[in-house]
Chain A
Amino acid sequence: MVEPATATQAAAPVMPQLKDELDIVIPTIRNLDFLEMWRPFFQPYHLIIVQDGDPSKTIKVPPGFDYELYNRNDINKILGPKASCISFKDSACRCFGYMVSKKKYIFTIDDDCFVAKDPSGKAVNALEQHIKNLLCPSTPFFFNTLYDPFREGADFVRGYPFSLREGVPTAVSHGLWLNIPDYDAPTQLVKPLERNTRFVDAVLTIPKGTLFPMCGMNLAFDRELIGPAMYFGLMGDGQPIGRYDDMWAGWCIKVICDHLGLGVKTGLPYIYHSKASNPFVNLRKEYKGIFWQEEIIPFFQQAVLPKDCTTVQKCYVELAKQVKEKLSKVDPYFDKLADAMVTWIKAWDELNPPTAGSVPNGKAA
């Protein structure tokens, strides 16, 4: 039996790192009570709340937090016709928060995620761990069997080439979940009682050339390195699919990170995921995705970006072109999605005009 942590104040750091460089983006449709539990860890940071669903509803934010809140009316006002790329009635709308943020780093978390406990019973400061992950290099070109070599008590193992030990910048830190695991609907239906109680004390870099299912429940990234690729797609109201927003973003960012020589980490930190969504509702949202992913994954596995794609935006627009060329035949939805990807980049660039003398994000592989 795994339980969330309650004594979180003790684990709060004396000096919160990056407090003026990181925004916490939270999509919500109900309330933000869960913030009380996170208060010692989150209070020093600025929050961007993206309110999904009925904009006339008032979302109560617990007192003492510094935040900005956007509902659908705000999104429509700010983006105009380009607002069509932001999903409605789906947590995918959170990516609007990434777009309007002015900070270098983003941490996003779902409103049913609480603080986890490590095996010693201590509260896990997930944000602090994500920051550590992002500030430390990744090692995508050769697998280290002792996982993150930069962690205390670890290092590179015998045989690890010295020329690869500097690592590359980390663009994404993907955290995990105790209690309710992130299963798809069929698995949920077959194993309704399964709970994740295994605390795996590791952070590792996902090797170059390997795709993974990125979950948006507990995720942090460097907005300057990879932000424009973190589009969460067209989901929810009026769309044939749901619960594939973070998956789609994960496949896109991995292809682009591999191309630009950036790293993606997975593992710690854990959060405590408290609510299991209704598996029948999930099945209806996901079921097309379950078939489509069989075509989508080979598409991403084989995607090659040309050498002249040296910025994230260029990579993303090229990817959108390939989606239109190769995935439209799977379903006309992908045609719409490819257009939305381009709209997203246009909106991103409008809201985030490049500063003078800005350089490409990385070297094309």
Chain B
Amino acid sequence: VLHTTRPLHTTQQSLAPVPPLPEKGGEVRHGLIPEEFFQFLYPKTGVTGPYMLGTGLLLYLLSKEIYVVNHETAAAACILTVIVYAIKKFGADVAAFADKLNEEKLATAVAMKNEAIQTLQTAIEEEKKEQWRAEGHSFLFDAKRNNIAMLLEANYRERLLMVYNEVKKRLDYQVAMQTLKRQKEQDYMIQWVEKNVIQSITPQQQKESVAKCILDLKALSKSAQAAV
């Protein structure tokens, strides 16, 4: 059941990023009593108040036997001495070791985060590069279009040439036919004229022409003899 009277998603609250841990914990005096207690008693009793309270309490407990002193008291005293000595001596080293462990964990996490950021950055740049390349596609297509236009043009011109050649061939043929016909008509006409002229020469005329030729030749020979 969802109570719709409650406003949803109005705050910035979210699980991440988690606020960092505080640097130091609450102040504790002598390892046992929080500082707030001393601050609480300070206005009324000053600095020595809590210590007087502690001493009085201790004496009261001992005298009234509310705290019984037995073998366990001695054991507790020895154990506490050893513990306090150990803490005073090795505390700093242990703290440094724990801090180092924490640092290593933090370093691996931060390294992972940085690596992820780095990979995403390179991915962004690659993407931008791809977009830039995609812009260049227009040039590619222009070049391809030019190529195709040139091919079409070349094809067109080739066919134009072919058409011209074919038409020229046909026209040359017609011209050749006409010249041939005229030549043949001319030859035939000449032949026919010659044939008719030769036919028209009668034998009588032939004899006369031969005699004339002989007379001419004689005259010529005389004139030639005279010249010599």
Q: A and B bound?
A: no
The interface of chain A, by Cβ under 8 A from chain B, is none
